[in-house]
């Protein structure tokens, strides 16, 4: 690659990155389920009146947010309907993965994954330790990767403390591939300049469904 071509590429990357809000590095992977958050890491810590580590849902939310993701918690069906209607108003079209229940599908025009402004999928689990959503290849990877915005539904009961526990929970019904989505797509391959949304969605939203949802 010539120097002029390299400079043109770097210039475009800088222009695209100029108005993006910087996201700090989430830090090293914790040894156990200790994502950053408002709780003590002592072994005998009391959390909600009980001895042990923090609620895995709280810990998952803190770590995914630290990586640039978004999290919303929905306690019941009424909350799901109200939030989904308002959220969907930001988009023109949607590509929905297989397995997403009708009640969790936005009322938007359907489009191919490469053309949709929103992708929607259902996670098979999540790990608080890494802030990762576990997505099955059975749903169809294109709708998880091609739209610029990705909405992922996950049941609160499927949020596990460690990555090992989350993977273990999928062991009895493994798909061909399990993908770990731990925040928006990022790359700093060119000039060590961080760019979001290069190899996948630049925005990811984890919608956590409570027991009544």
* Domain edges within the chain: 55-212
Cα angle 50-208-182, degrees, rounded to a multiple of 5: 95
Residue 50: the pLDDT is 43
Q: How would you write the pLDDT of the chain (213 residues) with one tens digit per residue?
A: 677 888 888 888 888 777 777 777 766 666 555 544 443 343 334 444 444 456 899 999 999 999 899 999 999 999 999 999 999 999 999 999 999 999 999 999 999 999 999 999 999 999 999 999 999 999 889 999 999 999 999 999 999 999 999 999 998 888 888 999 998 876 666 666 666 656 778 899 999 999 988
> Contacts by 100-108 with C-beta closer than 8 Å and gap 24+?
100/139, 100/153, 103/77, 104/80, 104/153, 106/151
Distance of CA 197 to the CA centre of its chain: 13
Q: How many Å apart are CA 163 and CA 4, to the nearest integer?
A: 45
Residue 1: the pLDDT is 61
**pTM of the entire structure?**
0.74
CA separation, residue 112 to residues 97, 135, 148, 200 (Å): 11, 19, 13, 15
Residue 44: the pLDDT is 37
CATH for 55-212? Answer: 3.40.50.10420
């Amino acid at each position: 690659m010539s120097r002029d071509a390299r400079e043109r590429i770097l210039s475009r990357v800088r222009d695209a990155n100029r108005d993006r809000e910087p996201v700090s590095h989430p830090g090293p992977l914790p040894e156990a389920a200790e994502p950053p958050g408002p709780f003590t890491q002592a072994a005998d810590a009391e959390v909600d009146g009980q001895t042990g580590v923090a609620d895995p849902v709280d810990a998952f939310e803190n770590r995914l947010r630290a990586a640039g993701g978004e999290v919303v918690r929905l306690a019941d069906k009424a909350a799901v309907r109200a939030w989904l209607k308002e959220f969907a108003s930001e988009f023109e079209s949607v590509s929905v993965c297989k397995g997403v229940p009708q009640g969790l599908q936005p009322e938007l025009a359907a489009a191919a994954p490469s053309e949709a402004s929103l992708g929607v999928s259902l996670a098979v689990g999540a790990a608080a330790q890494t802030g990762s959503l576990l997505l099955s290849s059975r749903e169809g990877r294109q709708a998880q990767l091609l739209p610029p915005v990705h909405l992922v539904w996950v049941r609160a009961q499927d949020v596990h403390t460690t990555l090992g526990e989350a993977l273990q929970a999928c062991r009895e019904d493994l798909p061909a591939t399990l993908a770990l989505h731990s925040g928006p797509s990022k790359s700093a391959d060119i000039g060590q300049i961080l760019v979001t949304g290069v190899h996948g969605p630049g925005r990811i939203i984890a919608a956590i469904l409570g027991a009544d949802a």
